[in-house]
Amino acid sequence: MDTTTNETDGMELSETLEQLKADTLASLDTAADLAALDAIEAGAVGRESPIAAARRGLGKMDAAQRRDAGRMINEVAKEIEAAVAVRKDQLASEARAAAIAAEGIDVTIDYVSVPSGRIHVVQQVIDEVCDIFIGLGYHVAEGPEAETAWYNFDALNTPPSHPSRLESDTMYVDYGNPEDEMLLRTHTSPVQARYMEQHDPPVYIVAPGKTYRNDTVDATHLPVFYQIEGLAVDESITFSDLKGTLAEFARQFFGSTTRIRLRPHFFPFTEPSAELDVSCFNCDGGESSCRVCRGVGWIEMIGCGMVDPRVFDAVGYDPSSVTGFAFGMGVERLAMARHGIDSIRHFIDNDLRFLEQFPG
């Protein structure tokens, strides 16, 4: 600034400031958001602004000029800052209103209700049985549904001549050459053999899964059904361990007053073998008209026995150092007994009136 023309300088300064104020105030309305507003504010009163330049010029003025000019600069700066603050409030409340409009829920709008699915009653029973055995220290194991004849039969001490190996009983994928016959597993017992091959004793597992037999559909048979296998192998496992374990399972699954009984039976892979019946939880053996046990008082539930030493041989365990028990149960049969279901066909009919009765 030229100090010899002070009058004109004063005039020029006030004009410059007025111009700055007018321009700035006019541009405030065009600021669309807070960032744009900050930029305008910085341009008018910030470090590099005309106001800052004017303040730097004060040092070259005499005292009286400096006082007048200083007051003028401060007033303009204050007015600009006040106008910026007003616009800032305005932008903030606009942004708030927009956010509320965008995020708000109109509770009066009609909605399409999507029915939630539920777990099939057969899967519910599988989960429940597995949970009970997990509580007893067992692990869950799985195996393939398309199985070799070796794991499904031979490793389980079931000789080639056994009638269950005929095509009339078993569904084959590849049949005829005993070396590489493939079939749809007829029980979950091959998981025993596969698991023992892969793991050293002790073994405590349950193996749930789908099984297949060449059966015609009727009230108690499906060609595709579910089983849960159990296997415990350890040092000095006895038949009492088998009995105690399955009695505990029956109490947890069917109710605390449930009793069990064992009837001698035959399975190629266990010796001795038994069928386990549970006392009828509906009539407890008291009613000849009971719809669950039909007056028998007992419900046939589980095949079981002590693992045959030949099975241990087949999987590479030493039969002189370990013993074990195994059991197998039909999941649909458990579900039918538990819920008083009269036909196994209900499980595959997909009738929602049936399925909805088991919310899980």
**253/327 with CB nearer ligand PHE:** 327
Which has the closest alpha carbon to 13: 54, 64, 42? 54
Dist CA 133 CA 197 (whole Å) = 22
CB atoms inside a 10 Å sphere around CB 237: 20
Query: Smallest distance from the beta carbon of 307 to ligand PHE, in angstroms?
Result: 8
**141/304 with CB nearer ligand PHE:** 304
DSSP 79-136: HHHHHHHHHHHHHHHHHHHHHHHHH---TTS-----PPP---HHHHHHHHHHHHHHHT
Tell me, letter by letter, the H, E, C secondary structure of 272-294. EEEEEEEECCCCCCCCCCCCCCC
In the complex, residue closest to ligand PHE by CB: 328
Query: Smallest distance from the beta carbon of 229 to ligand PHE, in angstroms?
Result: 6
Identity at 277, one-letter amino acid code: D
Which has the closest alpha carbon to 278: 235, 249, 307? 249
**254/327 with CB nearer ligand PHE:** 327
- The shares of helix, strand and coil residues in the chain, as percent rounded to the nearest 5, are 45, 20, 35
**87/165 with CB nearer ligand PHE:** 165
- Whether the Cβ atoms of residue 298 and residue 277 lie closer than 8 Å to each other: yes
Under DSSP, the state recorded for 7 is H
Residues within the interface to ligand PHE (CB under 6 A): 187, 189, 229, 267, 270, 303-305, 326-328
Query: Smallest distance from the beta carbon of 269 to ligand PHE, in angstroms?
Result: 6
**16/164 with CB nearer ligand PHE:** 164
Query: Smallest distance from the beta carbon of 309 to ligand PHE, in angstroms?
Result: 14
Under DSSP, the state recorded for 196 is H
Query: Smallest distance from the beta carbon of 302 to ligand PHE, in angstroms?
Result: 8
**77/191 with CB nearer ligand PHE:** 191
- Whether the Cβ atoms of residue 299 and residue 280 lie closer than 8 Å to each other: yes
The set of residues, in sequence order, having a beta carbon less than 8 Å from that of 59 and lying 6+ positions away, is none
**50/151 with CB nearer ligand PHE:** 151
